[in-house]
A and B are shown apart, each in its own frame.
Chain A
């Protein structure tokens, strides 16, 4: 963002506009925000399409084929338009202000988190010195939206979905946070930029492939907990469609529903991006010296593919099993990783 703020005056003066210099940072902020929002919306659209297409092929089907030519490229745009044009229904007995409010925390949480994602050395909104921590913190805002939505809908299924979301959160949040620690210990920093920079020099320097592989385990745990935080299969209990019809967003339709939907897909992108920055070397390529935003996007894309792949393969867990997995499987393992990695770092 600072680069953008430095860069803006030149562009503006070239195009003959004069802007008071005090406004420049504000303008840069707005630009960044709108670029991020547009990026999120667009990536959500692409991801929805990709998910449907992949799901189709996983199941020996074709997925969307009609809208926008052979591969149904424009399917999610068409769906988006349809959702926008739909009537915005608020149930009679719902808590109206809360019902309206609920989608926003969900979207804002994910959107905010994107600020700290390092797409490449230069291409990031801002480099916090507590980047990782920030992302984890704002991601939890999403849960408030979910619980609000479930409560405000005044629907028993939605309420159950919301309660499940709350239960689920307390069980995945801790392993997810702890899973980052080995990386932090290794990179000696919470800033994502520094963490990625510490992994330069080819695939063997990526944190997943670092002996003694504590970080590989914590990568797995981060990924699993990430799936849970995104409410994606096999942890899609809050919206488990075969049990709770649609869970917390049962009563939502049209635009508000699309917010939840978009947040889920943007969240997928976010978790994959963070995972690839933390463990998979971010913008660093497989061979030493390769650096590009495309590497970052490719790794993120691969992780998203794995998420989709998992979703279309595995059955769903039960709520007590999620709590079990969170507390009794992920947490001990991740603690072991943290301790092991710290010992390794001090002894080396």
Chain B
């Protein structure tokens, strides 16, 4: 191509491809937006969604397996064990550290910790991001003595 044809084809192509692009954007101007109206309409999370944990306290046997499996050690468990009776006094997960990796849920022998659908647990304080899953219990003096709190 000579310089002249290159010049004119450049000018033409510049205008033409701009027009092609504009036709595409124009088409989308009239198409339906894909926005999710998040705070107004909550998105539906799929069943496998890995959100804030769901903990079934009555099933838990306080074996610390989940705490051990956790790569970032963010689960803190307190157990009072009296013979067959098991009382979970503490089951805290620190969501500043948690990376929602699902590693704690797999090895649980009692299948009592799962990843849940919840994802809105932001907090204004650091303390507030540590969620306590165990129902609060008042302990007797004797129980306090044998309570074991472990973090891995």
Contact = CB atoms under 8 A, between A and B. Distances in A.
Contacts of B22: 309-310, 313-314
A60 B30 CA distance: 9
A116 to B, nearest CB: 30
B1 to A, nearest CB: 17
Interface string B12-41: 000000100110111011111111010000
A179 interface: no
B18 A60 contact: no
Given A62-B35, A329-B11, A57 B29 contact: yes
A60 B34 contact: yes
B18 A314 contact: yes
Contact of A54 (B11, B21, B29): B29
A61 B18 contact: no
Interface string A300-312: 0000000001101
A310 B15 CA distance: 11
Contacts of A313: 18, 21-22, 24-25
A312 B33 contact: no
B25 A56 contact: no
Given A313-B21, A314-B18, A314-B21, A60 B28 contact: yes
Contact of A58 (B18, B29, B34): B29
Contacts of A310: 18, 22
Contacts of B24: 313
Nearest to A309: B22
Contacts of B32: 60
A290 interface: no
Contacts, number: 40
B26 A60 contact: no
Given A314-B18, A329-B11, A309 B26 contact: yes
Contacts of A61: 33-35
Contacts of A56: 33
A59 B26 contact: no
Contact of B31 (A54, A60, A62): A60
Given A314-B18, A329-B11, A309 B25 contact: yes
Contacts of B25: 58, 309, 312-313
A62 B29 contact: no
Nearest to A56: B33
- Identify which of B7, B24, B30, B33 gathers the most chain A CB atoms within 10 Å of its CB: B33
Contacts of B21: 313-314
Contact of A59 (B28, B30, B37): B28
Nearest to A54: B29
Contacts of B18: 310, 313-314
A331 to B, nearest CB: 13
A57 B29 CA distance: 5
A314 B21 CA distance: 7
Contacts of A62: 33, 35
A308 B29 CA distance: 12
Interface in A58-111: 58-62, 65
Contacts of B34: 60-61
Nearest to B17: A314
Interface in A9-29: none
Interface string A223-262: 0000000000000000000000000000000000000000
Contacts of A314: 18, 21-22
Nearest to B15: A220
A62 B29 CA distance: 10
Contacts of B31: 60
Contacts of B30: 57
A339 B22 CA distance: 32
6 contacts: A57-B28, A61-B35, A62-B33, A309-B22, A309-B25, A313-B21
Interface of A: 54, 56-62, 65, 309-310, 312-314, 328-329
List the 8 closest pairs (A to B, CB-CB), nearest first.
Answer: A313-B25, A313-B21, A62-B35, A60-B34, A58-B25, A313-B22, A62-B33, A57-B29
